[in-house]
């Protein structure tokens, strides 16, 4: 019975201490494992989605192309992407790739921010850039308080803070031009963003249904001054619905010189500066589905139009109708019913994109639709934007 032996009381205290220690350890470990799992799933959730490679450069047969334009249907081209993606994805430098919006007038600002917000929500890893007249940054005194300017400043802050957009103020294309006029500014300004390798411009207003095809275009295209979406399936002229550009001082200079010698709209300027079909987007990219779809085409939908496949296949819908104001306006029901597509499936798709736009406008900009009066016998004071 030496000193080394512990009394019964001491043994039981030691035993309890060990038990308590083991339980604490088990509790700690299980908590740690749970936390790691949670962190991992959180990381997965916020990780930007990586783009798929572009479809192979196999030309499409013209009839297929026609069918796509007219019906909004067709097959997405299947590519074996796993190997390619594993090889390419880590080397993509997203800091040089982005989406750009050029706003010239207060009334265009919300729709531009909505597109950038859509791309953010669809987890595009590319940058977002918003260009707008520098004049909007001027400090206003209490006396000339302007509700429109207040909204504009609020929206610019939203774009930067909530949607991570880089704000880039621009000057009129021609020195001395009236900085309050939308026509003094040009889309050519985006060529001044020479720190970027490639940029995509989408024509607002519209809705982005899926950003992955656009991200693929950005990530895997060759850098060219201009790759524009064609205005028609015949590929004779470019449109400004979607532009994939590679900015350079040289092109910027050329476009500005042209603007000074001959003031023109964006479309005229770009059609003059870039030859087709060289400056059109590759035909093979159309195999990715409807990269760009104009809402008015839904009115010519064929009988076998399928709204489900349309939603699955379509990347960007530009909202534009020849005989209606933009989607920012609240068109009375009777008028809308007269203009909407006849085909039931196409009508479903059409109403869905307009409703999506209305909801996003409220979410992103906190703005309701604008009041609109049909251009009846009265003067067309109708389409004047009323900012509240
Ligand atoms: C549309 O296509 C989907 C499959 O893509 C199919 O399940 C659905 O039944 C089609 N709807 C109509 C109305 O044909």
Using a pLDDT cut of 70, give the percent of the chain over it.
Answer: 82
Among 308, 312, 343, 349, residue to substitute to test ligand 1 (most atoms within 8 Å of Cβ): 308
Task: Kindly report, residue by residue over 64-86, the tens digit of the pLDDT.
Answer: 333 333 333 334 444 445 445 54
Any ligand 1 atom below 6 A from CB of 306: yes
Task: Kindly report, residue by residue over 250-308, the tens digit of the pLDDT.
Answer: 999 999 999 999 989 999 999 999 998 999 998 888 778 889 999 999 999 999 999 99
DSSP tag of 58: P
* Separation of CA 290 and ligand 1 centre (Å): 17
pLDDT score recorded for residue 292? 94
Q: pLDDT category, 136, cuts 50, 70, 90?
A: very high
Where do we find the tokens 């139009």? 305
Any ligand 1 atom below 6 A from CB of 309: yes
All domains of the chain in start order, with CATH? 93-289 (3.90.550.10), 291-371 (no CATH)
Closest atom of ligand 1 to 345 CA is 13
Residue 247 backbone phi and psi in degrees, to 5: -65, 145
Among the listed residues 139, 97, 127, 132, the one whose alpha carbon sits nearest the alpha carbon of residue 111 = 132
> 54 pLDDT exceeds 80?
no
* Separation of CA 306 and ligand 1 centre (Å): 6
| Distance separating alpha carbons of residues 103 and 112, to the nearest angstrom | 7
3-state secondary structure of 316: strand
Using a pLDDT cut of 90, give the percent of the chain over it.
Answer: 61
- Among 109-113, 181-185, 217-221, 382-386, the minimum mean pLDDT is found in 382-386
* Separation of CA 234 and ligand 1 centre (Å): 29
Q: What angle do CA 237, 126, 56 make, to 5 degrees?
A: 55
pLDDT score recorded for residue 9? 75
Does the bond joining 291 to the residue before it have cis omega, within 30 degrees of 0? no
Residue environment code for 50-80, b if the CB has 16+ CB neighbours within 10 A, otherwise e: bbbbbbeeeebeeeebeebbebbbbeebeee
| Distance separating alpha carbons of residues 18 and 30, to the nearest angstrom | 18
Closest atom of ligand 1 to 306 CA is 1
Give me 369's structure tokens: 């639709």
Closest atom of ligand 1 to 312 CA is 5
Helix H or strand E segment including 329: strand 329-330
> Once rounded to an integer, what is the mean pLDDT over residues 196-203?
98
> 339 pLDDT exceeds 60?
yes
The closest residue, in CA terms, to atom 11 on ligand 1 is 306
The answer to whether 374 touches 332, Cβ cutoff 8 Å, is: yes
> 118 pLDDT exceeds 50?
yes
pTM for this prediction: 0.78
Where do we find the tokens 């080394």? 4
* Separation of CA 308 and ligand 1 centre (Å): 6
């Amino acid at each position: 019975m030496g000193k080394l032996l512990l009394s019964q009381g001491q043994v039981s205290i030691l035993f309890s201490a060990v038990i308590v220690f083991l339980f604490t350890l088990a509790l700690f470990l299980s908590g740690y494992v749970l936390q790691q799992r949670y962190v991992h799933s959180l990381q997965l959730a916020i990780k930007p989605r990586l783009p798929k490679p572009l479809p192979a450069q196999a030309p499409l047969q013209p009839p297929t192309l026609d069918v796509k334009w007219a019906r909004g249907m067709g097959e997405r081209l299947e590519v074996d992407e796993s190997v390619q993606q594993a090889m390419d994805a880590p080397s993509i430098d997203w800091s040089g790739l982005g989406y750009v919006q050029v706003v010239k007038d207060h009334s265009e600002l919300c729709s531009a921010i909505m597109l950038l917000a859509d791309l953010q929500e669809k987890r595009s890893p590319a940058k977002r850039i918003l260009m707008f007249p520098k004049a909007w940054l001027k400090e206003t005194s209490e006396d000339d308080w302007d509700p429109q300017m207040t909204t504009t400043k609020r929206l610019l802050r939203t774009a930067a803070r909530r949607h991570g957009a880089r704000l880039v103020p621009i000057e009129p294309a021609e020195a001395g031009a009236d900085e309050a006029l939308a026509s003094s500014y040009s889309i050519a300004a985006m060529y001044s963003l020479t720190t970027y390798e490639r940029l995509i411009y989408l024509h607002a207003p519209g809705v982005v249904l899926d950003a992955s095809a656009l991200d693929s275009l950005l990530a895997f295209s060759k850098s060219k001054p201009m790759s524009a979406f064609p205005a028609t399936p015949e590929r004779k002229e470019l449109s400004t619905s979607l532009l994939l550009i590679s900015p350079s001082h040289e092109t910027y200079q050329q476009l500005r010189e042209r603007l000074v010698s001959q003031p023109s709209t964006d479309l005229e300027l770009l059609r003059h500066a870039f030859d087709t079909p060289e400056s059109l987007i590759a035909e093979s990219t159309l195999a990715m589905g409807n990269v760009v779809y104009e809402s008015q085409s839904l009115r010519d939908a064929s009988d076998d139009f399928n709204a489900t496949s349309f939603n699955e296949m379509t990347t960007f819908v530009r909202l534009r109708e020849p005989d209606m104001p933009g989607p920012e306006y609240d068109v009375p029901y009777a008028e809308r019913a007269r203009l909407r597509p006849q085909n039931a499936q196409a009508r479903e798709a059409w109403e869905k994109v307009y409703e999506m736009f209305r909801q996003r406008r409220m979410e992103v900009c906190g703005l309701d639709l604008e009041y609109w009066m049909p251009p009846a016998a009265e003067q067309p004071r109708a389409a004047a934007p009323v900012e509240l």
